[in-house]
Amino acid sequence: MGFFNKLLGKILAAPPLDPADEDDDVQSTSSQPIEGSPEFIRAAEMQRAYWTHNAEEQGQLEARGVGQLGWRELLRLHHLTCLQRLNPGPERRAASEICRQTVRRLLSVNSPYRPRPAMIWQGQSAQPTAGREPDMQGELLNLSLTHLGCLEVYLLDDTNQPTRIDFVGFDELSGVVFSPPNLIRAARLFYEDGRDEIVLVPLLYGLTWAIGNEYDRSGRMTTFVAHLDSKEIGVLGASGLGAGQQDLSIRGQDGGRSMFGLGSVVEISFPLDMRDPRFDEKARARGIDPDEVRRRIGVE
């Protein structure tokens, strides 16, 4: 995967804007050229193309109704609505109610894109984590309203070249192992059904190429804009649209949150959760008898 040799650190994230200020102005930086190798520029342009508002596509999805869309279509409508919310004033307010509706469905118990319990190991390389306690564990969430419980990836062709942007829900995964941090880095996805796949993972949010400053584009800062006021979102702690390095959050059993950059993560493991509607299916895929688990802990 010999792309992109510059390793990145991360400085403290910029403080989020006031959630009550729904009409904060978002300054466009899309006219600034993307810098890097030809391979990196091609991949970044692919990401920027996905994160470009398409009013016609949005209108077609809205006409079918939020409740009638499949999960992938719903996530796409959510992304288009988030992009519309970059515009201040009436256009943002018009998109806000639809955005609240899509968020409610994306956070529902059956959604593949909801937050999920996880264990996190941090480091600079794919160090062996067997036997090492995780650095953090709890409910995992991407802090941008655009991502919630999913991982943005580049799918690859037979020559390991990126072909398109895709989004993998945490619900589909049993784990992820990352290569050392880069603006774009390789990762191996392990699926609940036993499959595994090599992908590329962008360090930066796609909106970085539209509104990010030089610190956002280098991955040293994270900025959140266009905050959405919603009870469900307030509980999560993710109300704005991210630019810069992707930020993740773990909520522990005490309700406290730890925030960290995606570039610091070397491995994610998703343990089985008996509250999961797919617990039986996932347990069997891992060679575990779900009924035996219930008997052992005294749950019928």
Q: What pLDDT, in 10s, does the model give residues 243-254?
A: 999 999 999 888
Alpha helices, DSSP H, located in the chain? 38-50, 55-64, 71-84, 90-106, 208-211, 214-217, 231-236, 279-285, 290-297
Q: Which amino acid is at 293?
A: V
What pLDDT is recorded for position 89?
Answer: 79
Q: Is the pLDDT of residue 133 over 50?
A: yes
Q: Is the pLDDT of residue 10 over 80?
A: no
Q: What is the pLDDT of residues 44-86, one digit of tens each?
A: 999 999 999 999 999 999 999 999 999 999 999 999 999 999 9
Q: Which two tokens stand for residue 233?
A: 């979102």
What pLDDT is recorded for position 149?
Answer: 96
What pLDDT is recorded for position 126?
Answer: 57
Q: What is the pLDDT of residues 189-214, one digit of tens each?
A: 999 999 999 999 999 999 999 999 99
Residue 260 and residue 136 in contact, taking contact as beta carbons nearer than 8 Å: yes
What pLDDT is recorded for position 87?
Answer: 85
Q: What is the pLDDT of residues 77-132, one digit of tens each?
A: 999 999 999 987 788 888 999 999 999 999 999 999 999 999 999 987 655 556 78
Burial of 290 by CB count in 10 Å (0-12 exposed, 13-18 middle, 19+ buried)?
middle
Count of beta carbons in the 10 Å neighbourhood of residue 174:
20
**Span 154-179, average pLDDT:** 97
